[in-house]
Homo-oligomer: A and B are copies of this chain.
Amino acid sequence: MKEGPDISQIAALIGDPARANILTALMDGRALTASELAEEAGVGLSTASGHLSKLTDADLVSPRKSGRHKYFHLADAEVAGVLEALMGLAARRGATRVRTGPKDAQMQVARVCYNHLAGRMGVQMYRSLLGRDLLVEDNENVALTAAGRDFATGFGIDLAELEKGRTLLCRTCLDWSERRNHLAGSLGRAMLTRMEDLGWMHRDAGSRVICVTQKGKAAFEDMFGSA
């Protein structure tokens, strides 16, 4: 009767409010401990522990032990992608969070998606790279051109190092607020890290908001501005 993989198990997993909170909290790409996630989800430690083992069993998150702490992070970028897609649906249905604070506006401008830059600035960067032929889209894959490799290296990114890793260098990720692609993959991650190192921006602790400094704003506009 049924065709294709079974959606309901995974959807049900995401469907519990506490677990959804946990997953959302991990969307910033950081690894958090069980206690922190319990706090984030608003449940007791024992409850969170149970949720986390279910999420781990389903391969939505991965644990990493470090001393007496246990850190959890999203299993991979695909999981993050599905979560963003669900946010897209939820946002359009007007099921936005009750509390719409000042952070919501900032989230639209620049936020961290798993581990890369998302929001208006993320999309702007991506479009700029494409427009200047530093990046090309071939099918759903994106890749750096020769000029793009020079650019990245000049920006202070060690491509050879990145390419050693298992994760794809370039990947696209659909932005739930902008409804356009932005750059993911290990390069996306490295770009964000580099911009943080340069003092252009820094992550807001405890949220996914990225705060852009005055200096960063100018430098970013200078490098990726449409003008």
Determine the main DSSP class of A at the interface with B. Answer: helix
Interface of chain A residues 1 through 17 with chain B (CB within 8 A): 1-17
**Contact indicator B85/A85 (Cβ below 8 Å):** yes
Min CB distance, A137 to chain B, in Å?
5
A107 to B60, CA, bound (A): 26
Are A130 and B139 touching (Cβ within 8 A)? yes
A207 sits at the interface (CB 8 A)? yes
Residues of B contacting A97 in the complex (Cβ-Cβ under 8 angstroms): 2-6
In the complex, whether A203 has a CB less than 8 A from a CB of chain B is no
Q: Whole-angstrom distance between the alpha carbons of A12 and B22 in the complex? A: 15
Interface members, chain A 93-121 (any B CB < 8 Å) = 93, 95-97, 103-104, 107, 111
A167 to chain B, nearest CB (A): 15
Which residue of B has the minimal Cβ distance to A96? B5
Q: Are A3 and B103 in contact (CB under 8 A)?
A: yes
Given A78-B88, A180-B140: A11 and B15 within 8 A (CB)? yes
Q: Known: A40-B1, A181-B139. Is A93-B7 also a contact (CB below 8 A)?
A: no
How far is B139's CA from A56's CA once the two chains are assembled, in angstroms? 34
Q: Are B181 and A7 in contact (CB under 8 A)?
A: no
Residues 139 to 176 of chain A near chain B (Cβ within 8 Å): 139-140, 172, 174, 176
Cβ contact within 8 Å between A7 and B14: yes
What's the Cα separation between A10 and B20 when bound, in Å?
Answer: 11
Cβ distance A21 to chain B, nearest Cβ, rounded Å? 6
Contact across chains for B24 and A87 when beta carbons are under 8 A apart: no
Residues in A24-68 with C-beta less than 8 Å from chain B = 24, 27, 40, 42, 58-60
CA distance A107 to B3 in the complex (A): 8
- Given the interface contacts A59-B93, A139-B127, does A16 sit within 8 Å of B7 by beta carbon? no
Point out the residue from B1, B8, B90, B104 that lies within 8 Å of A16, measured CB to CB. Answer: B8
Q: Which residues of A contact B (CB under 8 A)?
A: 1-17, 19-21, 23-24, 27, 40, 42, 58-60, 78-79, 81-83, 85-93, 95-97, 103-104, 107, 111, 126-127, 130, 137-140, 172, 174, 176, 180-181, 207-209
